[in-house]
């Protein structure tokens, strides 16, 4: 609660709300690609099915709308994992649309049909096709062949009872006329969604807006009921801003992976995307288990979370600087948790089930020491505070709890 009738708007002047600003729709859908595109990273360990199930249940807690469960066509092992995960969705009545990616080949799509029947739930076929001139040149593809593959693959999936999202790879470097022809055929063949992919992380915000607006106009001309997905990569570090630009321009569903894992530099990070969606009022998901989702994925895929990683890193809500700690402590002494969570933090720790942390180090002050002692229930006389602080000033790192206890016990 804000104390003394002071409102949040009185304490934070939000330049983000000044002048012309993007208009974001509410209720954008989210696809989790962790168990498919995320696992295409050369550096990850492939999780066991038990670990995949644990990640799936955490997706449910985060209110993820759809999840790519894997490439059924990659082999029997992958197909069986998709079946097991899809059955888990059915058994636990999860509100998650299961997906499986496939090339525009019947040999890839047929295993999805089998998995869907075995699991007892329609699995969305994410049928993908390279679309850019550079990809066509490297592969020796002609446009007529791409159009033929588009129509035959979508019709095959539809005829076998699968919902279809048609995915154009490298869309952000594709020619408009080629996209017009490919997407038009896909929609007329029955695709319910189109996925615009920044496969190599090429796009800027302006490029993303231009492309999504182009696709939105085309959808309006051919079949306004078709949804538009955005799938981004972070080769240029523009993943989050491009995702927001795509939503602003008309994308109705966006993709991400836990910890941003994936090929090369990876995909849009799910945890950062969800936090930004909530902060911008686009989403209203309960994110208190977001750190757990990231920890489980980190362990399952053997991917380390850097200490300074936003939101879920060890240092994300931790300070050892005297002036920062003083402001947080003063807010807590006012019994104003709202203030303490924001005075030195752009993302409230409470949003993701975490708390502000204050440590003791070379740049600390007395507030750090007093707060640390109270939090760790360490009884110390007032004379202990300057001694602990002096030890911190002479150190080249943070003091550990056992070190502080030894200093205090040595004075008794």
How many whole angstroms separate alpha carbon 337 and alpha carbon 246?
A: 35
The three-class DSSP label of residue 8 is: helix
Tokens representing residue 135 in the block: 């990809």
**Model pLDDT for residues 251-294, shown as the tens digit of each residue:** 999 999 999 999 999 999 999 999 999 999 999 999 999 999 99
User: Can you say how many angstroms the Cα of residue 116 is from the centroid of all Cα atoms in its chain?
Assistant: 26
**Model pLDDT for residues 237-248, shown as the tens digit of each residue:** 999 999 999 999
Report strand pairing: 97-103 vs 193-198: unpaired
Whether the CB-CB separation of 46 and 74 falls below 8 Å is answered with no
User: What mean pLDDT is predicted for residues 181-185?
Assistant: 98
How many whole angstroms separate alpha carbon 127 and alpha carbon 123?
A: 12
**Model pLDDT for residues 351-361, shown as the tens digit of each residue:** 999 998 888 99
**Model pLDDT for residues 8-66, shown as the tens digit of each residue:** 768 888 888 898 888 898 889 999 999 999 999 999 999 999 999 999 999 999 999 99
Give percent of the chain with pLDDT exceeding 90.
Answer: 80
Whether the CB-CB separation of 164 and 157 falls below 8 Å is answered with yes
* Structural domains of the chain ordered from first start: 24-301 (3.20.20.70), 318-409 (no CATH)
The radius of gyration of the chain's CA atoms, rounded to the nearest angstrom, is 25
**Model pLDDT for residues 46-61, shown as the tens digit of each residue:** 999 999 999 999 999 9
How many whole angstroms separate alpha carbon 181 and alpha carbon 164?
A: 17
How many whole angstroms separate alpha carbon 71 and alpha carbon 69?
A: 7
How many whole angstroms separate alpha carbon 412 and alpha carbon 409?
A: 5
pLDDT at 12: 87
Strand segments, DSSP code E, in 179-286 are 193-198, 227-232, 253-256
pLDDT at 140: 93
pTM to 2 decimal places: 0.93
**Model pLDDT for residues 104-152, shown as the tens digit of each residue:** 999 999 999 999 999 999 999 999 999 999 999 999 999 999 999 999 9
Give percent of the chain with pLDDT exceeding 70.
Answer: 98
Residue 209 neighbours by CB under 8 Å, 6+ apart: 245, 246, 248, 249
Residue 12 neighbours by CB under 8 Å, 6+ apart: 342
Instruction: Count other Cβ atoms within 10 Å, centred on residue 358.
Output: 25
Question: For residue 125, how many C-alpha atoms fall within 13 Å in the half-sphere facing its CB?
Answer: 36
The three-class DSSP label of residue 194 is: strand
Secondary structure element (H or E) that encloses residue 100, with its range: strand 97-103
């Amino acid at each position: 609660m804000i104390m003394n009738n002071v409102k949040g708007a009185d304490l934070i002047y939000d330049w983000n709300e000044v002048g012309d600003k993007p208009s974001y729709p509410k209720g954008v859908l989210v696809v989790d690609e962790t168990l498919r595109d995320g696992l295409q990273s050369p550096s990850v360990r492939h999780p066991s099915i038990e670990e995949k199930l644990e990640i799936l249940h955490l997706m449910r807690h985060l209110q993820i709308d759809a999840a790519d469960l894997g490439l059924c066509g990659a082999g029997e092992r992958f197909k069986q994992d998709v079946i097991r995960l899809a059955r888990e969705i059915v058994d636990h009545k999860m509100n998650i649309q299961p997906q499986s990616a496939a090339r525009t080949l019947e040999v890839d799509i047929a295993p999805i049909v089998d998995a869907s029947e075995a699991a007892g739930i329609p699995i969305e076929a994410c049928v993908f096709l390279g679309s850019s001139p550079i990809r066509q040149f490297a592969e020796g593809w002609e446009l007529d062949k791409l159009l033929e593959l588009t129509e035959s693959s979508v019709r095959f999936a539809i005829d076998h009872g699968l919902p279809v999202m048609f995915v154009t790879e490298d869309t952000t470097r594709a020619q408009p006329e080629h996209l017009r022809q490919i997407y038009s055929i896909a929609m007329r063949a029955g695709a319910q969604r189109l996925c615009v992919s920044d496969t190599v992380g090429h796009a800027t915000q302006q490029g993303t807006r231009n492309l999504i607006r182009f696709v939105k106009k085309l959808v309006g001309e051919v079949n306004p009921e078709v949804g538009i997905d955005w799938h981004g990569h972070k080769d240029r570090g523009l993943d989050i801003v491009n995702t927001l630009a795509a939503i602003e321009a008309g994308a109705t569903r966006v993709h991400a992976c836990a910890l941003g894992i994936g090929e090369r530099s990876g995909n849009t990070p799910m945890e950062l995307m969800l936090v930004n969606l909530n902060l911008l009022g686009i989403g209203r998901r309960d994110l208190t288990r977001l750190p757990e989702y990231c920890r489980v994925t980190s362990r399952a895929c053997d991917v380390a979370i850097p200490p300074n990683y936003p939101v879920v890193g060890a240092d994300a809500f931790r300070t050892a600087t005297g002036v920062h700690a003083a402001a947080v402590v003063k807010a807590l002494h006012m019994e104003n948790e709202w203030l303490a969570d924001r005075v030195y933090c752009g993302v409230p720790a409470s949003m993701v089930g975490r708390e502000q942390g204050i440590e003791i180090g070379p740049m600390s002050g007395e507030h750090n020491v007093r707060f640390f002692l109270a939090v760790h229930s360490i009884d110390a006389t007032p004379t202990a505070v300057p001694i602990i602080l002096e030890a911190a000033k002479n150190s080249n790192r943070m003091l550990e709890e056992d070190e502080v206890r030894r200093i205090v016990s040595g004075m008794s």
